[in-house]
């Protein structure tokens, strides 16, 4: 793709977004102050220390929901069902509560998303080969229908069409899908938002747990990840437990040809506790059975259990927040044992410096590696099905396996809905006998006898702009500076990644 073509594509992508800016829905009117209620609240709330920790009180679900969900089937539009459709804030909201019978006992919610991304790479794979400099476009469209039968049953269907253009080395499996089902499930459950209840969901379904470190629909990929099986849950006030048994779905580029992977099973139980306003915590057990998995050149059947926990909170009386997650993995690999683990810590500070909502954070990660290749004992952590893109640099050169990593992060919001973010990462191999893995979990670079552990540093800069609930734009640049290990084991050019993404969601 020539630079002129790229620029034209950018303009085509941006034009509707800019045009829509003028036509965007007006902000909802400020509620009129009741007589004697005093002056209206300032537009920008004062920055104060985080309040004391209290028991969380149940809140009535809002209409419309505050935001569209990463998984669209998690959105709760029922509170809008009995309102005057003409009174809903945006015309697209009327598509969320379409009565199919006069009494609306049968009703549907429809929606979707169109997303385009342009990517420009230099020195892919640390190489100076001709195809290492490349640019391409990605386009995908998703559409869903959520049909409710009374208060306790629904059928949810979501399709995807994903397309890639101009990649010299051809499309990757995560790029293409000429029409397939991301979700198709039937569900019987207590009403959404009920304080106590049970539910069960059967069919093809996306999965997302915690902060997506281990299980995620991987929204960054053009072709999202999905699973097929059964999930059941129980909710009792602030306690929720989910149990699931699924197989991952193999993405194929043809129409309606995605099928579950009979060689793999993902199952487990995930508990979430939201008792307190200042912290939430989760605990989980996840099993992954894989036929013919490969570690260190050895292929065997893998039986791996992950036992983990996560805590996420704010420290009352300060502007400090934290998040920690960790776990152990055990099981078998052929006749050998699996012994692995991971830990992740994030410490954040949101100082009261002006109105730009600054935040500074420090992150540390460890994921175990293997200390001896070629045998059947595995020490390599298995990152399972993560949103790898979110954690170890946006160039996706590093994954959560055999890894020591640290990063510094800063973000500001100079004007409303515009966010500037920066990260500086450092990466090391946890064990010198094991490989460097990429964000997809595969081997990025074999150890090749190197005793160097320093993999490199990466600088990530992003500019995010959201226009209401519907438009979102993302401009980003990443540069990866190879370290001693990459230098010693092959091509070692500095990698650049520039991208622009625009999405419209309804």
- Site residues, Ca ion (CB under 5 A): 177, 180, 252, 254, 257-258, 370, 372, 375, 377
Residues near 205 by beta carbon (within 8 Å), at least 6 away in sequence: 73, 183, 185, 226, 227, 228, 229, 231, 246
Shortest-Cβ-distance residue relative to Ca ion = 180
CB closer to Ca ion, 346 vs 403: 403
Nearer to Ca ion, 142 or 359 (CB): 142
Q: Which is nearer to Ca ion, 300 or 365 (CB)?
A: 300
Instruction: Report the residue number, 252 or 488, with the smaller CB distance to Ca ion.
Output: 252
CB 120 within 8 A of CB 135: yes
Least distance in Å: CB of 38 to Ca ion?
59
Q: Which is nearer to Ca ion, 382 or 478 (CB)?
A: 382
* Residue 439 · residue 389 · CB < 8 Å: yes
Task: Report CA-CA distances (Å) from 300 to 103, 266, 292, 295, 377.
Answer: 57, 17, 5, 8, 11
Q: Phi then psi for 110, rounded to 5 degrees? A: -120, 155
Q: Which is nearer to Ca ion, 370 or 458 (CB)?
A: 370
For Ca ion, give the closer residue by CB, 252 or 312: 252
Q: Where are the alpha helices (DSSP H) in 30-134?
A: none
For residues 258 and 323, which CB has a smaller minimum distance to Ca ion in the complex?
Answer: 258
Beta carbon of residue 220, minimum distance to Ca ion (angstroms, whole number): 19
State the nearest-atom distance from the C-beta of 308 to Ca ion, in Å.
22
- The first and second tokens of residue 463, run together, are 């500019």
Rank residues 204 and 213 by Cβ distance to Ca ion and give the closer one. Answer: 204
CB atoms within 10 A of CB 423: 21
Q: Are 224 and 188 in contact (CB under 8 A)?
A: no
Element (H, E) at 17: helix 3-23
Closest by CA position to 466, among listed 499, 417, 413, 502: 417
d(CA 267, CA 227): 11
- Smallest separation, CB 255 to Ca ion (Å): 6
Q: Which of 464, 477, 416, 421 is nearest to 17 (CA)?
A: 464
Three-point CA angle 388, 383, 336, nearest 5°: 160
The residue ranges of DSSP E strands in 126-190, in sequence order, are 134-149, 153-165, 177-189
**Residue 294 CB, nearest distance to Ca ion (Å)?**
12
What distances in angstroms separate CA 47 from CA 276, 318, 350, one per listed residue? Answer: 21, 11, 9
Minimum distance of Ca ion from residue 449's CB (angstroms): 16
**Cβ closest to Ca ion, residue 120 vs residue 339:** 339
Q: How far is CA 301 from the centre of its chain?
A: 28
Cβ 177 to Ca ion shortest distance, Å: 5
Nearest to 398 by CA among 329, 338, 480: 480
* CB of residue 368 to Ca ion, shortest distance in Å: 11
Q: Considering the complex, what minimum distance in angstroms separates the CB of residue 166 from Ca ion?
A: 21
3-state secondary structure of 310: strand
State the nearest-atom distance from the C-beta of 257 to Ca ion, in Å: 5
């Amino acid at each position: 793709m020539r630079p002129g073509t790229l620029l034209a594509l950018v303009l085509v992508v941006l034009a509707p977004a800019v045009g829509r800016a003028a036509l965007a829905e007006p902000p909802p009117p400020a509620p009129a102050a009741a007589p004697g209620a005093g002056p209206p609240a300032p537009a920008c709330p004062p920055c104060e220390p985080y309040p004391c920790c209290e028991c969380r009180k149940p809140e009535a679900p809002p209409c419309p929901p505050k935001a569209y969900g990463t998984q669209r089937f998690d959105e709760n539009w029922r509170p809008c069902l009995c309102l005057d459709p003409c009174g809903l804030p945006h015309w697209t909201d009327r598509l969320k509560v379409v009565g199919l019978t006069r009494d609306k006992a049968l009703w549907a919610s429809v929606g979707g998303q169109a997303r385009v991304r342009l990517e420009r790479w230099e020195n892919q794979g640390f190489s100076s080969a001709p195809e290492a400099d490349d640019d391409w476009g990605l386009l995908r469209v998703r559409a869903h229908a959520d049909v409710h039968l009374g208060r306790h049953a629904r059928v949810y269907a979501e399709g995807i069409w994903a397309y890639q253009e101009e990649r010299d080395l051809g499309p990757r499996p995560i790029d293409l899908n000429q029409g397939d089902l991301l979700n198709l499930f039937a569900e019987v459950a207590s009403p959404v938002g009920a304080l106590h209840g049970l539910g069960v969901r059967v069919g093809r379904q996306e999965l997302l747990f915690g902060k997506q470190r281990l299980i995620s629909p991987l929204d960054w990929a053009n072709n999202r990840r999905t699973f097929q099986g059964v999930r059941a849950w129980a909710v009792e006030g602030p306690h929720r437990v989910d149990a699931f048994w699924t197989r991952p779905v193999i993405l194929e580029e043809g129409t309606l040809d995605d099928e579950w992977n009979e060689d793999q099973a993902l199952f487990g139980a995930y508990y979430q506790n939201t008792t307190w306003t200042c912290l939430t915590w989760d605990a989980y057990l996840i099993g992954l059975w894989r036929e013919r998995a490969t570690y260190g050149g050895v292929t065997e059947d893998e039986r791996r259990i992950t036992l983990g926990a996560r805590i996420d909170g704010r420290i009352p009386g300060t502007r400090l927040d934290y998040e920690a997650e960790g776990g152990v993995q055990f099981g078998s690999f052929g006749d050998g044992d699996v012994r692995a683990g991971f830990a992740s810590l994030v410490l954040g500070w949101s100082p009261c410096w002006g109105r730009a909502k600054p935040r500074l954070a420090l992150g540390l990660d460890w994921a175990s590696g293997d200390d001896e290749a070629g045998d059947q004992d595995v020490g390599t952590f298995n990152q399972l099905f993560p949103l790898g893109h979110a954690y170890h640099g946006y160039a996706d050169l590093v994954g959560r396996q055999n890894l020591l990593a640290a990063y510094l992060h800063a973000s500001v919001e100079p004007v409303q809905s515009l966010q500037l973010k920066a990260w500086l990462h450092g990466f090391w191999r946890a064990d010198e006998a094991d490989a460097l893995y990429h964000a997809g979990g595969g081997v990025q670079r074999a150890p090749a006898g190197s005793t160097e552990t320093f993999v490199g540093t990466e600088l990530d800069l992003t500019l995010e702009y959201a226009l209401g609930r519907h438009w979102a734009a993302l401009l980003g640049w990443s540069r990866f500076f190879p370290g001693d290990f990459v230098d010693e084991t092959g091509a070692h050019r500095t990698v650049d990644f520039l991208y622009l993404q625009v999405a419209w969601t309804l």
